[in-house]
Amino acid sequence: AQKVTQAQTEISVVEKEDVTLDCVYETRDTTYYLFWYKQPPSGELVFLIRRNSFDEQNEISGRYSWNFQKSTSSFNFTITASQVVDSAVYFCALSERGGGFKTIFGAGTRLFVKA
Amino acid sequence: GAGVSQSPSNKVTEKGKDVELRCDPISGHTALYWYRQSLGQGLEFLIYFQGNSAPDKSGLPSDRFSAERTGGSVSTLTIQRTQQEDSAVYLCASSPGGGGYGYTFGSGTRLTVV
Question: Chain B partners of A94 at a C-beta cutoff of 8 Å?
Answer: none
- Taking phi over 0 as left and psi of -120 to 50 as alpha, with beta for the rest, B40 belongs to left
pLDDT class for A98, splitting at 50, 70, 90? Answer: confident
CB-based contact, A62 to chain B, within 8 Å: no
Stretch B66-77: mean pLDDT: 93
**Neighbouring C-beta atoms of residue A91, cutoff 10 Å:** 24
Q: What is the pLDDT of residues A40-62, one digit of tens each?
A: 998 899 999 999 999 888 888 99
Instruction: Note whether A43 contacts B89, CB cutoff 8 Å.
Output: yes
Which residue on chain A is closest to B42 by alpha carbon?
Answer: A107
* Least Cα separation, residue B96 to chain A (angstroms): 13
Would you state the pLDDT for residue B78?
98
Instruction: Note whether A35 contacts B108, CB cutoff 8 Å.
Output: no
pLDDT class for A18, splitting at 50, 70, 90? Answer: very high
Stretch B13-27: mean pLDDT: 97
Stretch A78-84: mean pLDDT: 97
Would you state the pLDDT for residue B1?
54
Its sign, for the CA torsion A97, A101, A106, A107, is: negative
